[in-house]
């Protein structure tokens, strides 16, 4: 019985990998990137960063969810064109503690610029305990390895 469940899980995971590969091939080379670096001294609770990006040309929506399990992280969010809008950027600690418009990324059409976002300090619902540095830079190719 346990072996059957393991095999079913492997088949399911294999189909997810295949679906991701097909989905990835449907996208053109990513337009811009948002590179996120965290160098935190402490993390209160188990926050999640919800980042939703909309392609300004095709209106395609790209949702990202980043879990803070470690103090030092490196994440990348890809866009599909040169122009994009961050329509949501929030950190959530359960249903009641939320920081909306996290790092002041929302509601700006950005064209031809990628971002490097660095988060330092003590991450908690108190926004005075951490600093968020946002650096915009001209389009640079981000290496993506194809399978």
Name 63's bridge partners: 52
For the chain, what percentages of helix, strand and coil (3-state, to nearest 5) are there? 20, 50, 30
The domain spans of the chain are 1-28, 31-138
The token pair that represents 47 in the structure block: 């926050």
Q: Which is more confidently placed, 31 or 15? A: 31
- pLDDT > 70? residue 132: yes
- pLDDT > 50? residue 147: yes
- How far apart (Å, rounded) are the C-alpha atoms in residues 91 and 65? 10
What confidence score (pLDDT) does residue 10 get?
42
The CATH number of 31-138, from 2.60.40, 1.10.3470, 3.30.70, 3.40.50, is 2.60.40
The token pair that represents 9 in the structure block: 């899980």
Mean pLDDT of the chain: 81
- How far apart (Å, rounded) are the C-alpha atoms in residues 87 and 21? 26
In this prediction, residues 68-81 reach a mean pLDDT of 92
Distance in angstroms between the alpha carbons of the first and the last residue of the chain: 34
Q: Evaluate whether 102 touches 91 at the Cβ level (below 8 Å).
A: yes
Q: Which of 29-43, 64-78, 86-100 is predicted with the least confidence, judged by mean pLDDT?
A: 29-43
- pLDDT > 70? residue 83: yes
């Amino acid at each position: 019985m346990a072996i059957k469940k393991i095999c079913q899980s492997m088949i399911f995971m294999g189909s997810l990998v295949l679906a991701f590969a097909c989905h990835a091939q449907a996208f053109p080379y990513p337009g811009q990137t948002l590179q996120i670096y965290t160098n935190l001294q402490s993390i209160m609770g188990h926050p999640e960063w919800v980042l939703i990006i909309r392609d300004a040309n095709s209106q395609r929506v790209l949702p990202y969810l980043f879990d803070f399990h470690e103090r030092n992280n490196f994440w990348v969010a890809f866009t599909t064109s040169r122009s994009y809008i961050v329509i949501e950027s929030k950190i959530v600690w359960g249903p009641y503690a939320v920081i909306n418009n996290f790092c002041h990324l929302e509601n700006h059409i950005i064209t031809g610029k990628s971002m490097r976002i660095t988060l330092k300090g003590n991450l908690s619902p108190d926004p005075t305990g951490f600093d968020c540095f946002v650096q915009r830079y001209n389009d640079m190719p981000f290496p993506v390895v194809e399978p």
